[in-house]
Amino acid sequence: MERTDLRAADRAAVRPVTPRQRAARAARNGGEPTLEFDDRVPYDAYVQASTLHGLQTTLSDDPGEMSFLMVSQIMELYFGLTCHELRETSRLLRSDRVWDALAPLRRAALHLEGLNAAWKGLRWMTPADFNRFRNLLGEGSGFQSAMYRHLEFLLGLRDPALIRPFRRQADVHADLTAALGTPSVWDEVVALLARHGHDLPAELRERDVAVEHEPHPAVEAAWVRIYADGSPDNHLRLLGEALTEVAEQFGDWRWNHVKAVQRAMGAKVGSGGSAGLAWLQRSMSRVVFPELWSARTAM
């Protein structure tokens, strides 16, 4: 799922300018903002703000539902943005550009931090507040977020059964199937460690990437050796810390999800057919980048 380019009409409204042209416009305006445009306002043409603000259709008259809907949409955007950064990370790691991969990883961690902050917009919600519109959502559930599945797949959490809900949405299902068959960020990291001389068995290097990675002592040992080298040019150690920050922020998001569910509905059955809180708690046992954490015991 890649972003499409601006439409021709929008590109016409977002015309590039040089620093000299910008300075000339400011001089003509006497330092005041430009108020007249030949076409659509450039900001709206670029950000698509008027489109974004037209995408909220509530199912009830309850004023709190708008918070629930918009926070969910904000989270969807953060899912997509984080996926964008992790795909770039994978591309750079495949090319052995470890130093360059640090930038998108750090951005991904910051996006996840923003994603975590979005939960604060729902901290007002009690069960009574949620119940005023919950039944109108039917079987709609965050469990059904395709972009969240992309994020999990990129982080190495892989369960082929979880793409089944999308089988009647051909494009979405095809994208998720392709993602499931593409190496995760952790798969790319393991391959990178092998190329950098760490002794990793063929069963790791040649495994089916559609199957979730199982922690392996050889990968853990590689990270112990990497962290033993404290030199400033040890880019693999910097990579390990950037990956750890991503994993930690993602773990925080999952924990915040559990707390939000407890706050809004307790241990009731989930809207999407799961056991709700109990199902979320079990899902947290699947660890992102597991050997980065277990290696710390041996360091």
Return the SS3 of 273.
Answer: coil
CB count, 10 Å around CB of 101? 27
Four-residue CA torsion sign, 200, 205, 206, 208? positive
- Rounded-to-integer distance, Cα 84 and Cα 210, Å: 20
| Phi and psi, residue 120, nearest 5° | -60, -25
Which residues make Cβ contacts (< 8 Å) with residue 286, sequence separation at least 6? Answer: 157, 212
58 touches 68 (CB < 8 A) = no
- Give the whole-angstrom CA distance, residue 239 versus residue 119: 28
CB-hemisphere CA count at 13 Å for 286? 16
**Cα angle value 261/267/268 (rounded, 5°):** 95
Is 111 annotated as contributing to ligand binding?
no
Q: How far apart are CA 274 and CA 143, in angstroms?
A: 9
Is position 134 annotated in a ligand binding site?
yes
What is the C-alpha separation between 155 and 177, in angstroms, rounded? Answer: 15
The residues, ordered by sequence, that sit 6+ positions from 45 with a Cβ below 8 Å of its Cβ are 6, 9, 10, 11, 13, 14, 39
Spatial distance between the Cα atoms of 240 and 296, rounded to a whole number of angstroms: 11
Q: Rounded to an integer, what is the distance from CA 28 to the centroid of its chain?
A: 44
Query: Binding site for heme, residues?
Result: 257
Query: Binding site, residues?
Result: 134, 257
Query: Binding site for substrate, residues?
Result: 134
